[in-house]
Chains A and B, each alone.
Chain A
């Protein structure tokens, strides 16, 4: 069952009179439960692809289907709701809310999805806090955490709403290599346990090795995808 489908997607921007092609006709299908890396050098178009998976950018041409819905037919409010319920984000710079502590940052997406009692929220948050190993850091603010700890908070935050897909844009770029590997291992463990689809971009070879499938992108085109099936 595919959760993401790109059909001949093109994305271009106008820089003054010059057209910049970020994606030049990309077709890709991602199945539920995949642990997929999008690899490529800077400017290759991998972030643009992730933005489309995350319903935060729309294609100039072609179709992007998330969970069977063509995203460019959705209005801004519907896209927002779609992101809230179906997608989890892990950012390169962690992007935690600075005034909230660990517990509150992880709880934040649950507060946006009304209907859960405080008790329910607490049990969900605590489950993922334990999963990412931050039980002793609940009251800490982001500026009191290390880079790796912050990214763990971000992973827990992405997971709490039980999303269809978790997108991670170069999640290890701001971490040292050892911490980066640990973070990707954590993501992969969660993928195996929770069956959550993980799509992450990277150009780090060590990180790439952890992926079950690698989609290589260059100059806005997929240059290597299906052939790069990698065993665990």
Chain B
């Protein structure tokens, strides 16, 4: 009680200095609360943005791939995922998986005719199954037409197949090639395959505007799975006659059966024109979205264990997002480092001020020691003063921080576009106010207060009663 009384009155007596230190500690607290909230919000939003726009929670890809999958690697497409049906069955069997979509990225040319001339337009694209793609990724806001008819009440074949381009891409076609496209307009898609250049007739189904990651999606277009299969001959047979299937199964059992099959007259009479075609996998990646992001490690482990025999590998969203996650992490690390540095400076200033305080109070401390106070009393006095001041300043700063953050959370924090694009895909940063940063700040303030007091207290307790006697 005596300690508390002296501590409080000393603080009141030295208001100017107390306010100065309080402001420093308050500023440090604000940085911790705001910095941690900002970093956590950035991290959470960045993760959500990458997952919702590029990768899903994880990507399944071929085990023949030497590279990690990347939604941005258009120059070197990965090998296609094999056993797509069985992989799909595996994904369907895991309850944590909400949805998945096979997709691939590649580049081609779309050709249009203007005044009798054929004009080639460059075309980087994602080949997707439209329905599941839109279920997982909702980044494309349609300005004209539709996303391959997804969501249309009445869908015609013309709505379902073809190409969807970005508004920016369209502007570039107009600017660089003088070509303005109209939704529904026929285009020819030209793709380079191992066998040469393939073409497929298609239509421009829609024009979209990306909501986030404009610096990426402005350059990315879409092609539906069926058109993509035709373009690159990813076509198989939906079903074979039963006799043919039986023969093939028998052939797998023994060589004799294989030779018998060759002698079977009916086997050679397979009428190819009666077969139904079916698109087979040309997909290089399967983006998987989970019902619960926290289940990521568990699902990845399970897929790695069960997927080995299916020729697949698994990459988390972080591994697949490449430099985006790296840059986001680096920016967050910078914020944390800057906060830590500022608090270090605050601690040094604070320690220095406390030492000056001790020096100025040498006679008072010496008197107390002469009157019979133990060193622990002096130690307690300084610690109490420091904690009262710092905790009070910290609590005030927390209230101010909360007010500022509540005000900012209404519309999000405006960021420079370049920073925003890399951190959260563009736009304002939504601020997620949580309790933890406040507790962290209080813990840091208490720890820093104690640490910053250690040396000044050592100086104070080393003051002997002689100092009081010699204070003339």
Contact = CB atoms under 8 A, between A and B. Distances in A.
Interface residues of B, number: 28
Interface of B: 2, 5-6, 9-10, 12-13, 363-364, 366-375, 377, 464-466, 468-472
B364 A83 contact: no
A183 B465 CA distance: 23
A165 B260 CA distance: 126
A92 to B, nearest CB: 6
The 3 closest A-B pairs by CB, nearest first: A84-B372, A99-B9, A56-B465
B19 to A, nearest CB: 17
B10 A99 contact: yes
Contacts of A50: 469
Contact of A93 (B10, B363, B374, B375): B363
Interface string A73-115: 0001100110111000101110111111000100011011100
Interface of A: 47, 50-51, 54, 56-57, 76-77, 80-81, 83-85, 89, 91-93, 95-100, 104, 108-109, 111-113, 157, 169-170, 173
A80 B471 contact: no
Nearest to A91: B468
Contacts of A85: 372
B363 A80 contact: no
B371 A100 contact: no
B371 A83 contact: yes
A112 B372 contact: yes
A57 B466 contact: yes
A110 to B, nearest CB: 10
Nearest to A167: B469
Nearest to B11: A99
Contacts of B6: 97, 99-100
A98 B13 contact: yes
A98 B371 CA distance: 15
A193 B465 CA distance: 29
Contacts of A173: 472
Contacts of A104: 5
Contacts of B364: 95, 97-98
A130 to B, nearest CB: 22
Contacts of B371: 83-84, 89, 108-109, 112, 157
Contacts of B370: 54, 56, 83, 89, 91, 95
A224 to B, nearest CB: 24
Contacts of A56: 370, 464-466, 469
Nearest to B367: A95
B238 to A, nearest CB: 93
Contact of A77 (B374, B469, B470): B374
A94 B189 CA distance: 99
B469 A80 contact: no
Contacts of B373: 80, 84, 112
B18 to A, nearest CB: 13
Contacts of B372: 80-81, 83-85, 109, 112-113
A108 B2 CA distance: 8
B2 A169 contact: no
A76 B378 CA distance: 14
B471 A93 contact: yes
B10 A51 contact: no
A40 to B, nearest CB: 16
B472 A93 contact: yes
A84 B368 CA distance: 10
B465 A83 contact: yes
